């Protein structure tokens, strides 16, 4: 069962993601498509997965949460540079 705080986080993440895409589209006048949209989707999915793991481990591994958070950030960083950077760099 999903805790109310986790559900609120997922809802907020989704709303902020849509607002970010809308704001970028409005300010640049261009549609957000292609590798940029894919990178936004993957980034938000990774954020949700990392949050879920941290939330589930918050009581068992409290002394390691900071390191696990940094590992999640590193995973997002590596995912961008391995998967998406070549498409943006081309």
- Per run of 10 residues, the mean pLDDT along the chain (length 90 residues) is 80 92 91 87 93 88 91 94 86
Domain residues for the domain of 33 are 4-89
In this prediction, residue 1 carries a pLDDT of: 53
Q: Report d(CA 46, CA 78) in Å as an integer.
A: 12
Name the residue among 36, 43, 19 with its Cα closest to residue 51: 43
**How many structural domains compose the chain?**
1
In this prediction, residue 45 carries a pLDDT of: 93
The C-alpha angle with vertex 27 and arms to 21 and 33, in degrees rounded to 5, equals: 40
């Amino acid at each position: 069962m999903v805790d109310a705080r986790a559900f609120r986080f997922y809802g907020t993440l989704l709303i902020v993601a849509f607002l970010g895409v809308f704001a970028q589209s409005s300010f640049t006048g261009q549609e957000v498509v292609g590798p940029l949209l894919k990178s936004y989707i993957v980034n938000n999915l990774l954020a949700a997965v990392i949050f879920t793991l941290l939330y589930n481990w918050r009581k068992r591994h409290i002394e390691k949460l900071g390191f696990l958070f940094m590992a999640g950030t590193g995973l997002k960083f590596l995912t961008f540079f391995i998967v998406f950077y070549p498409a943006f760099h081309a």
